[in-house]
Amino acid sequence: MKNIFLMLSLALVVASCKKNETEVAVVEEPTVEYAVFGDSIVAAEALSNEEMAAMYASLKEGDTINVKFKSAINEVCQKKGCWMTLDLAEEKQAFVKFKDYGFFVPMNAQEKEVIVSGKAYVGIESVDELKHYAKDAGKSQAAIDSIVAPKVTYSFMADGVLIAK
């Protein structure tokens, strides 16, 4: 009887010492390669387009903030790639120019993922500027002529841009 009790106790000790191995699935994020334009920046810690839209909503004319955010390119200047518009939440967009006119982006970059770093501000675009941008975008003459009032815009002066390859 002692032997049975001893064997049972030993079996319990061995069973309780056994490692509890649980499988942990490691999900690796796909690595995105970026082409760099302007200053070299890193993708880490970029705000989402929704977070950026909320920041713009809190700005008033004259306010400027340094920020980095990630979005999709809606449109690029078809003359030189000297400006682009980025998607923000709630059907809004940011109009992006490049610091000191020092670099351009590819004219075929529409719908690509982009990360921009620079200064965000709320601006007012004059009728002449709006017509100029519409012409650069390849809009029809009727669309250009329909611009008759200045527009409040979410503007961005980028010093560095990453575009997904």
* Residue 29 included in any domain: no
Give the count of domains, the chain.
1
Say whether pLDDT at 6 is over 50: no
CATH of the domain at 131: 2.40.50.200
* Residue 14 included in any domain: no
* Residue 22 included in any domain: no
* Residue 99 included in any domain: yes
* Residue 90 included in any domain: yes
Share of the chain above pLDDT 90, in %: 70
* Residue 2 included in any domain: no
* Residue 81 included in any domain: yes
> 106-134: per-residue pLDDT in tens?
999 999 999 999 999 998 889 999 999 89
Please give the mean pLDDT across all residues of the chain: 87
pTM of the model: 0.74
DSSP-H helix ranges across the chain: 2-17, 49-58, 127-136, 141-145
For 92, the domain range is 34-164
- Residue 133: which residues within 8 A CB-CB, separation 6 or more? 77, 83, 95, 125
